[in-house]
């Protein structure tokens, strides 16, 4: 094997190891906290591996067949079955205080109204129930060039609804993730994504900013929870919240 192939092979192996490490990190925390009957939102092809004492139903905004059409890049992936078709930001078909746990990995950043979503996720938990989330740290993702979403922005989304900033979020994505610079092309691509209802990362944070969000959110949304765990993972934060008894 020549030096170039060896280096490439080593890089690939290192990436596989990091992905495996991240999964093990998540699974170890999940094994400690998750029991009973719960739901996972937006699992797609990467559901959380649960301990034997936990049983899950999968929630997504469309059927598995429609998800394949909407995300052609996942055409060859093995998607989880969708047991409940619902908007994960509202969970309007899920009864309050009915779940022992909710898993929402790499979902929070896709929410147009994160504080409202947080209130609904806690709402469906039974007293003592667990909300388990993994949220990417923007510094280690394709969001690296984007500005952190200020907490005040989230508060405005919560109080006024997210329509006021929707176009700006899509333009930010187009410029700083898809790296389209010219104005006519930005406008065109923004309109395409919005027409598709494509699920971009509306908001981005660092680990430190996420801590601040979950510390301050209860005062705004009027929902109590205990911050059980924040663990730094491979480019993400693993966050565990518990609904008080």
The β-bridge partners of 101 are: 38, 130
| CA–CA distances in Å: residue 31 to residues 50, 65, 108 | 7, 31, 21
pLDDT of res. 21: 39
C-alpha distances out from residue 139 to 75, 76, 206, Å: 28, 29, 7
Phi/psi of residue 59, nearest 5 degrees: -115, 135
Return the higher-pLDDT residue of 96 and 9: 96
Mean pLDDT for 61-69 is 93
CA dist 93 and 103 (Å) reads: 17
Q: How confident is the model at residue 11 (pLDDT cuts 50, 70, 90)?
A: very low
3-137+201-242 CATH: 3.40.50.150
Phi, psi (rounded to 5 degrees) for 65 = -65, -40
pLDDT band at 4 (very low <50, low <70, confident <90, very high): low
**pLDDT by residue (tens digit) across 151-177?**
999 999 999 999 999 999 999 999 999
Domain ranges in the chain? 3-137+201-242
**Neighbour-count burial for 107-122, b at 16+ CB within 10 Å, e otherwise:** bbbbbbbbbbbbbbbb
pLDDT at 24: 60
Segment 87-114 mean pLDDT: 98
Q: Any residues with CB less than 8 A from the CB of 31 and at least 6 apart, and which?
A: 51
pTM to 2 decimals? Answer: 0.88
Residue 41 confidence (pLDDT) above 80: yes
Strands 236-242 and 36-41: unpaired
pLDDT digits (tens, 9 = 90+) for 176-229: 999 999 999 999 999 999 999 999 999 999 999 999 999 999 999 999 999 999
**pLDDT digit string, tens, across residues 131-157:** 999 999 999 999 999 999 999 999 999
* Residue 5 predicted with pLDDT over 60: no
Report pLDDT for 2: 53
């Amino acid at each position: 094997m020549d030096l170039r192939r060896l280096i490439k092979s080593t890089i690939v192996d290192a990436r596989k190891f990091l992905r495996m490490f991240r999964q093990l990190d998540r699974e170890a925390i999940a094994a400690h906290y998750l029991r009973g009957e719960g739901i996972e939102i937006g699992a797609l092809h990467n559901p959380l591996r649960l301990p034997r004492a936990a049983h899950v139903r999968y929630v997504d905004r469309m059927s598995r067949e429609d998800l394949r059409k909407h995300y052609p890049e996942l055409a060859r992936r093995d998607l989880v079955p969708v047991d409940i078709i619902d908007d994960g930001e509202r969970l309007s078909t899920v009864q309050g205080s009915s779940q022992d746990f909710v898993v929402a990995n790499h979902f929070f950043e896709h929410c147009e109204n994160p504080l409202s979503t947080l209130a609904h996720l806690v709402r469906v938990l039974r007293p003592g129930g667990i909300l388990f989330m993994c949220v990417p740290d923007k510094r280690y993702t394709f969001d690296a060039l984007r500005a952190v979403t200020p907490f005040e922005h989230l508060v405005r989304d919560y109080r006024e609804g997210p329509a006021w900033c929707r176009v700006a979020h899509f333009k930010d994505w187009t410029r700083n993730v898809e790296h389209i610079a010219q104005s006519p092309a930005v406008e065109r691509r923004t309109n395409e994504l919005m027409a598709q209802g494509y699920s971009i990362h509306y908001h981005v944070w660092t680990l430190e900013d996420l801590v601040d969000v979950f510390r301050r959110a209860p005062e705004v949304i009027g929902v109590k929870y205990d911050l059980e765990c924040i663990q730094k993972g491979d480019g993400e934060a693993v966050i565990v919240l518990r609904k008080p008894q």
